[in-house]
Structure 1
Amino acid sequence: MSGTEKSKATAEQAKGKAKETVGRAVGNERMTAEGRVEQAKGDARQAKEKTKDAFGH
């Protein structure tokens, strides 16, 4: 996995987790949902890069 893409995925996951946590703390369902979406994007980016690594691209 390229270092840049890996760091983007990790950052996106962390940002999403933080947003979800803050959303829950303040009772903001929209922020909580946005946090989950960002985490999912990070997970998808990470899975894509792992697949590329598995096939040697």
Structure 2
Amino acid sequence: MYQEMYLILFNRITNIIEELEEIQRESEALYINASEGERIKNKAEAYKETGLRQ
């Protein structure tokens, strides 16, 4: 029983980590491919929305 529970948990966590890594790669590609103006504008908007300082 515990081995089966462990395997299910391990496999699900592994899949989630792989999905997060893929999302990170996609996000980084979007950032890299954006123009400098787009990056500055999006960064300013993100700071405004979150209330964080630049």
- TM (norm. structure 1) is 0.50
- TM (norm. structure 2) is 0.53
Q: Point out which structure has higher relative CO (alpha carbons under 8 A, 6+ apart).
A: 1
Structure 1 stretches (4+) deviating beyond 4 angstroms?
A: none
Query: Unpaired runs of 5+ in structure 1?
Result: 1-26
Larger-gyration structure (1/2): 2
Query: Unpaired runs of 5+ in structure 2?
Result: 35-54
Identity, % of aligned positions: 3
1:9-48 paired onto structure 2 within 5 Å: 28-48=5-25
The RMSD of aligned alpha carbons is 1.6
